[in-house]
Copies of this chain bind each other. A is one copy, B any other.
Amino acid sequence: MATIYDVAKQAGVSPKTVSRVLNGDGPVNAETRQVVEAAMAELGYVRSNAARMMRATRSGLVGLVTGAISTSIDPTRPTGLPDLFIVQGVQAVLAKAGKTLMIADTAGRQDSVPGLMRTFLEHRVEGLIYVADHHKEIASPGVPSQVPLVLANCFDAAGTPAIIPDDRAGQQGLTESLIAAGHRRIAYVTLMGEMVATRLRLQGYHDALAGAGIAADPALVAAGYREGYAQDGALVENAIDALLALDRPPTVICFGNDEMAMRGYGILRSRGLAIPDDISVAGYDDYRAIAETLFPPLTTVELAYRQLGEVAAAQLLARIEGQSDLPQQTLVPGPVRWRQSVRRLTA
């Protein structure tokens, strides 16, 4: 591959002049510039990033570590990649700031994180982002403290700056919307109980009920996932049947995510119920491939992953610029997406 010296020789000037043409700093005679540019074109010159990095203080690189790309290997969650919207948001903000993004994937093995982080440090990244596939607590990635690090969709015990979805407010908002639409018997079929999101959303659900003066009925809350197991079709069916068998059955069922809601559509219909005429359904995530395509389209709560990525990147940039008075935890709200799967009850 051609070097700046080759170009210089070809053009009959010094390497430094070629450098000036490349970077547009010092003055260069218009004629000389043309000769140099012709030489570069002829030799197919591309400048070496390695060499210029030797002198530069800043690399212009940001590293992102994620399990998102390969999460789907995990058999307990064979499904979506919506968490990649986080990467998308990060990418957009960083590109605008002129940074180049390096992405590495854990390939599902958490123990590969240190090695990946190290590779990034060898490339002298200016900052690091760790993206989790769902809202959870993680072990703190061991990174020298002088390199800014931001966690997206997760948090650690060490207090590393974290950007996470506001699951509590999300489910509260949805529940309040349902109440405003006239619903009083609101069922909730949860994700796995040990998940952070489950705890927070359940809290939001209860907060909304309490705020409206509606007594919480434990019989209306059921588990759609069993700990340690993959999504269990039978469990969702059982949960739904139990809800339908209640003396005062729910008028609406909220599911822990859109996939479960999709499954719910099929199960409810096989029980002879029309959606939303006989029973209303809501999901969570705004997994648009499902929510918008289902018939009828699904009312759900947007998991604002793209925005989450944008916020994470913006905070990282701020930290790179030296700001230190940034919040340790940032909640990203998720708006309710109202569609036709919920019927408005006339009071």
A72 touching B88, Cβ below 8 Å? yes
B91 touching A69, Cβ below 8 Å? yes
Residues of B within 8 A of A38 (CB): none
A262 touching B46, Cβ below 8 Å? no
A122 contacts B by Cβ under 8 Å: yes
Residues of B within 8 A of A102 (CB): 100, 102-103
Choose among B46, B48, B107, B123 the residue that contacts A92 (Cβ–Cβ < 8 A): B107
A69 touching B50, Cβ below 8 Å? no
Number of copies: 2
Among A154-162, A212-220, A290-298, A318-326, the stretch in contact with B: A290-298
Closest to A70 in B: B88
A69 touching B88, Cβ below 8 Å? yes
A44 contacts B by Cβ under 8 Å: yes
Choose among B51, B82, B118, B293 the residue that contacts A263 (Cβ–Cβ < 8 A): B293
Given contact pairs A72-B88, A92-B107, A144 touches B293 in the complex (Cβ within 8 A) = no
Bitwise interface map of A from 87 to 128 toward B, beta carbon under 8 Å scored 1, else 0: 110011001000011111101000000000011011110000
Choose among B50, B80, B87 the residue that contacts A124 (Cβ–Cβ < 8 A): B50
Residues of B within 8 A of A119 (CB): 100
Bitwise interface map of A from 59 to 101 toward B, beta carbon under 8 Å scored 1, else 0: 1000000000110100000111110110110011001000011
**Number of A residues whose C-beta is below 8 Å from B?**
59
A265 contacts B by Cβ under 8 Å: yes
A46 touching B118, Cβ below 8 Å? yes
Residues of B within 8 A of A259 (CB): 289, 293
A267 contacts B by Cβ under 8 Å: yes
A29 contacts B by Cβ under 8 Å: no
Choose among B46, B47, B124 the residue that contacts A1 (Cβ–Cβ < 8 A): B124
Q: How far is the CA of A151 from the CA of B289 in the complex (A)?
A: 26
Output the least CB separation between A273 and chain B (Å): 11
A124 touching B78, Cβ below 8 Å? no
A289 touching B51, Cβ below 8 Å? no
Residues of B within 8 A of A88 (CB): 69-70, 72, 105
Residues of B within 8 A of A69 (CB): 84, 87-88, 91
Most chain B beta-carbon contacts within 10 A, residue among A50, A51, A70? A50
Residues of B within 8 A of A122 (CB): 46-49
In order of increasing CB-CB distance, the 10 nearest A-B pairs are: A266-B295, A50-B53, A79-B289, A49-B122, A103-B103, A46-B121, A80-B289, A50-B50, A81-B81, A259-B293
Q: Which residues of A contact B (CB under 8 A)?
A: 1, 44, 46-51, 53-54, 59, 69-70, 72, 78-82, 84-85, 87-88, 91-92, 95, 100-105, 107, 118-119, 121-124, 144, 146, 231, 259, 262-263, 265-267, 269-270, 287-290, 292-296
8 A-B residue contacts at CB 8 Å? A50-B51, A50-B124, A79-B288, A92-B107, A100-B104, A101-B105, A262-B262, A263-B295
